[in-house]
Amino acid sequence: MSRLWRRPAVLIAITAVLMLAAGVAVGWAASTAAPGNDSVEAGFARDMQTHHQQAVEMAMYEWQNGSDAAMTAIAYDIATSQSAEIGMYRSWLRDWDVRLSSGDPMAWAGEEHAHDSESSGGLMPGMATDEQMAEFKTLTGSDADIMFAELMIAHHIGGIDMAKIALERSDNDLVVDAAQRTVAVQQSDITNLQGHLDNILSAVEE
What is the DSSP track for 61-92? HHHHHB--HHHHHHHHHHHHHHHHHHHHHHHH
How many separate helices (H) and strands (E) can be counted in the chain?
A: 7, 0
180 close to 167: Cβ distance less than 8 angstroms: yes
Angle at CA 75, nearest 5°, toward 73 and 79? 120
Domain count, the chain: 1
pLDDT given at position 154: 98
Residue 26's domain comprises: 3-205
Q: How many residues does the chain have?
A: 206
pTM, whole model, 2 decimals? 0.82
Question: In CATH, what number is assigned to the domain containing residue 53?
Answer: 1.20.1260.10
How far does Cα 178 stand from its chain's mean position?
A: 12
pLDDT given at position 110: 87
pLDDT given at position 23: 54
Q: What is the pLDDT along the chain (206 residues), one digit of tens a residue?
A: 444 455 566 566 566 555 555 554 454 444 458 999 999 999 999 999 999 999 999 999 999 999 999 999 999 999 999 999 999 999 999 999 999 987 789 999 987 765 455 555 668 999 999 999 999 999 999 999 999 999 999 999 999 999 999 999 999 999 999 999 999 999 999 999 999 999 999 988 76
pLDDT given at position 103: 75
